[in-house]
Homo-oligomer: A and B are copies of this chain.
Amino acid sequence: MTDPFVVVGGDAAGLSAASKYRREAPDRDVVVFEKGDWVSYAQCGMPYFVKGDVDSMTDLLSLSPEAARERGIDLRRRHEVTAVDPDAKTVTVRSEDGTFEQPYGDLLVATGARARSAPVPGTDRSGAFTLHSMDDTAALRAFLVDEAEAEEIASVDYVDADYVREYGARDPPETAAIVGGGYVGVEMAEAFAAHDLDVHLFQRPEQLLRPFGEAAGDLVAEKLREHGVTVHLGTEVEALTGDDGALSGIEYDGGRLDADVAVVGIGVRPNTDLLEGSGVELGDSGAVEIDEHGRTNREHVYAAGDCAEMRHAVTGDADWVPLGLTANRAGRAIGQTVAGDPEPVGDIAGTAAVKAFELECGRTGILDHERARDAGFDPVSETVTAGSRSGYYPGNEDTTVTLTADRETGRLLGGSIAGEDRAAVRIDTVATALESDLTVPEVERLDLAYAPPFSPVWDPVLVAAKVLASDLDAE
């Protein structure tokens, strides 16, 4: 009997791999070890549960443990893999019943990432959250709502009920401090504002949402302020302070803010501790190096999702951009590959979208000039603001597009879009163009859809390409 396909981690990449593997090889075994209680949950939905847009915690699960088992997946929750031995082809598993060695035929490391809290001291205080786990999400929402609703949350399957009840019993907070102006920070500003808190967002750089570029970052800051959020740019948070392990405020360069709830969203780092001593190579990012099929340098060991690097479509180099689609796609491809039908995991372009109240933002590829230069390009950018619809059609909204290209070849390297009318999905046009290695003049000539209610004759992306093309022309 052959050893099973062993998957470490029961979230997007791991369960996508296990599901695809079972469909392709229904007579072979797959075991998934998940160290926690929750599996296959939508991290990106958490701020919207806290806000109240999502009714139930369980709505965030794309696959329940029961449904995973129905697919023939041997899912073991509360099982932590602590070591990998590629020579012996075993993993060491720790569970409530003790520690054991599990042999594998093939192994997928899909351990994800965890929230960074360093270098900010005090993030372990009660009232401070990183919002990277379902239990944190449940507890934070319980904190914001009345006790009856908190009790409903506590009674949901898999939830750490004591933790949730502890917050449910408290008085709701009045002032929220958000540390970090990335996705989590911006989305949580909207979530806290919906609960009528006095919201302060602290961002060390002078710009929110740095991967989205300056124009989008400025518009998001403006939008947050419009909704009453106090945005502290260029401001470093020095500590989360308080007595007896509880949060009562934030100290930052320039002052102090009394706050009774805080969310720290200053990035994540890959979970790779279990690979120590395994000989599996990590990249510069600290995430696992993989090839086009998700294979690591050690035979029969694969990695996917937030713990793995991927090839960037623009640079051709390994890069680490932990995002949901990447994890799902790579997991699925590896499931198919392990089942015997090799499938590439695909490249990434770092395409992402985020909502800030009414404002929609999208980004893809390489916008940052320093990064573009590091990759050997000579970057040039243009930012334009154009209408989302025909000027005469109601609902026409300013749409701000930045495109970056390589001066020498004219190749499109990256883009970002911000606006209130269908702006975010337009980034997919830019993503498709740069993954197809189009030049800016080629983008300018794309035959995109025109209809007064959805787009002007010249779509904002085409307007930006036109302006950038004339820069390139003028050289």
Chain A residues in contact with chain B, CB under 8 A?
Answer: 12, 42, 44-45, 48, 53-55, 59-60, 62, 313, 323-326, 328-329, 344, 346-355, 360, 362, 364, 390-394, 422, 424-429, 431-433, 435-436, 438, 445-455, 457-459, 461
Contact = CB atoms under 8 A, between A and B. Distances in A.
A425 B447 contact: no
Contacts of A362: 449
B449 A45 contact: no
A436 B435 CA distance: 10
A364 B435 contact: no
A348 to B, nearest CB: 5
Contacts of A458: 325, 328
A451 B429 CA distance: 16
B328 A60 contact: no
B432 A347 contact: no
Nearest to A59: B392
- Shortest 5 CB-CB contacts between residues of A and residues of B: A436-B436, A346-B445, A59-B392, A353-B451, A353-B449
Contact of A457 (B325, B432, B459): B325
Among the interface residues A351, A449, A451, A452, which one has the most CB atoms of the partner chain B within 10 A? A449
Given A364-B447, A432-B432, A445-B344, A392 B457 contact: no
Contacts of A436: 432-433, 436, 438
B446 A435 contact: yes
Contacts of A450: 44, 323-325, 352-353
A455 B347 contact: no
Nearest to A438: B436
Contacts of A391: 59
Contacts of A351: 447-449
A431 B436 CA distance: 12
Contacts of A459: 428
A33 B324 CA distance: 56
24 contacts: A45-B393, A54-B393, A313-B447, A344-B445, A346-B447, A348-B447, A351-B448, A351-B449, A352-B449, A352-B451, A355-B453, A362-B449, A364-B449, A422-B425, A424-B451, A424-B453, A428-B449, A431-B446, A431-B447, A432-B433, A432-B436, A432-B446, A433-B436, A436-B436
A365 to B, nearest CB: 9
A452 B446 CA distance: 28
Contacts of A352: 449-451
Contacts of A424: 449, 451, 453-455
B393 A457 contact: no
Nearest to A453: B355
B393 A53 contact: yes
A350 B448 CA distance: 9
A447 B48 contact: no
A381 B333 CA distance: 23
A455 B392 contact: no
Nearest to A312: B447
A398 B14 CA distance: 27
Given A352-B451, A457-B328, A45 B426 contact: no
A347 B447 contact: yes
A445 B328 contact: no
Nearest to A310: B447
A435 B445 CA distance: 10
Nearest to A313: B447
A329 B442 CA distance: 13
A270 B221 CA distance: 50
A428 to B, nearest CB: 4
A42 B425 contact: no
Contacts of A393: 45, 48, 53-54
A464 to B, nearest CB: 14
A352 B445 CA distance: 15
A171 to B, nearest CB: 29
Contacts of A329: 445
Contacts of A349: 447
Given A328-B457, A445-B344, A390 B45 contact: yes
Contacts of A446: 428, 431-432, 435
